[in-house]
Amino acid sequence: MPAVTWSDVEARARTVPLGPVLRRGGTDDLLLRGLVTDSRRVVPGSLFACVRGASSDGHRHAGAAAAAGAAALLADRPVDVALPVLQVPSVRACLGPLGALLAGDPAAALRLVGVTGSNGKTTTSTLVRGVLEAAGTPTGVVGTLGAAVGRRSRGTALTTPEAPELHELLRWMVDAGARRAVVEASSIALDMGRIDGLRFDVAVFTGFEEDHLDHHGTIEHYWASKARLFGSDRAAAGVVVVDDPWGRRLADQAPVPVTRVGAAEDADVRVLGWRTGAAGTEVLLADDTGGHRVTSRLVGRVHVSNLAAAWATGRVLGVPAEEIAAGLAAVAPPRGRNTVLGGDGRPVVVVDYAHTPRALAAALATARDLRGPGGRVHLVLGARGRRDRYKRQGLGESARAADVVWLTNEGSHGEDPAAIIAELRVGLLGGGAAVRTVPDRRAAISAAVRASGPADVVLVVGRGHETRMLDTTDPRDAVHLDDAEVANTALIAEHGPPAAVAARAERAS
């Protein structure tokens, strides 16, 4: 990380228009390296930001930061620690601008795309990166699956990291040769200022439904948080999927030029038709240059609008149509987004991150598309503890479209797993699905695979790419659990590997 003087830090803090900035101690030429919000990550020379959180206050850890070698503090109240302090009205409001400064303002060397939406952020971000790479532009991406540039990757704890970490990741990408970056922008990140200090060439909206109301309180606040990405101070242009009323509202109200995407006749990038199967998805699109046929390895109708949004983003950025098509065709499915296992004489297993009622309904529609003649859909369903209780009944209602529902635990985070399952079951009342309750998730996935025949589909939802599951409030208690790994083991144990299935079929013939 580059060294930055104390006087430069003070000057950047004064650009945040919230009130007076008071510097206590430290010479102008005091050198700082990196902005840190966790005292356990402090290294000698760090500027430690005393961030107030929902359950902790960084001011209480200022002493630990000093002991670890912090050179100065960023605080919003007096701190009894013998270090230079920059006291500001809001520490959180300064994280973006100061994080950028202490990372060397890496965003100035990048053209950025921001992607937000209730569902589809990760897939669309991956597709947009593929389009830009196909056009010959080295591109990084940061989001739910972590950060990547070239063949290198790094893990992240949040979909959109805290601002100092985000700017460090952008610096890492610039140093690796990236010229563009795609950033997933969650509603909570937009609400909490994690992308402050960034300006996007294009902001993308993938769609909207109720989610994260435990944080936002109301759906209007949730929508308004996402709409912030489309302010003229944050983005130069927008790409908006208008297949729901919230998308149309955003397209109508955004102060930046918007490219509308969807099936509607007034869409600028219009979906004329599509088909999907185990081999992938094909979409017919029309824009101002005519009709275009797009193919993708991604499986499921849910990806139709993601592909169309990525196409539109490429066009807004000036990528030729043939390069966009090549990029979309080359992108491998993101981990845990309609990941398809089995088949070839065994049941098909689909592992997906669907965790909202509408996403679940779309995943079930994909599962039905993948059935063989007379096949059934087995759904393995849970809900995350201590999060968004209001949507559990809606998940149960969407689950009625399955033939068999295996209710199980998805990580209770200290809540009673039986109570979570009971709330899901309420939504299933009145439906025709057979319901089985198997609280142990490994056992539920394995039982669903054992109960399935070659024409059936097992849909495992909720965790997708995640490999750690937590049933207490202490993150140290998390255990390894990879849904795809469990499903694949069950497929082999019950039906054998694909080669063995083919050999048995050949002998039988």
Binding site per annotation, positions: 39, 159-160, 186, 194
The answer to whether the CB of 122 falls within 8 A of the CB of 141 is: no
- Alpha carbon distance 139, 9 (integer Å): 29
**CA dist 389 → 292, 392, 394, 444 (Å):** 42, 6, 10, 22
31: which 2 tokens?
A: 């050198």
Residue (of 369, 363, 203) closest to 277 by Cα position? 369
Indicate the DSSP class of residue 332: P
**Nearest 5°: phi and psi at 270?**
-105, 135
**CA dist 48 → 4, 65, 331 (Å):** 14, 7, 40
**CA dist 232 → 201, 474, 479 (Å):** 11, 41, 44
- Alpha carbon distance 268, 247 (integer Å): 14
Q: 250 burial class (0-12, 13-18, 19+ CB within 10 angstroms)?
A: buried
**Nearest 5°: phi and psi at 469?**
-125, 140
The answer for 439, left when phi > 0, alpha when psi is -120 to 50, beta otherwise, is alpha
β pairing state of 4-5 and 31-32: antiparallel
- Alpha carbon distance 399, 5 (integer Å): 57
* Amino acid identity, position 255: P
- Alpha carbon distance 407, 428 (integer Å): 11
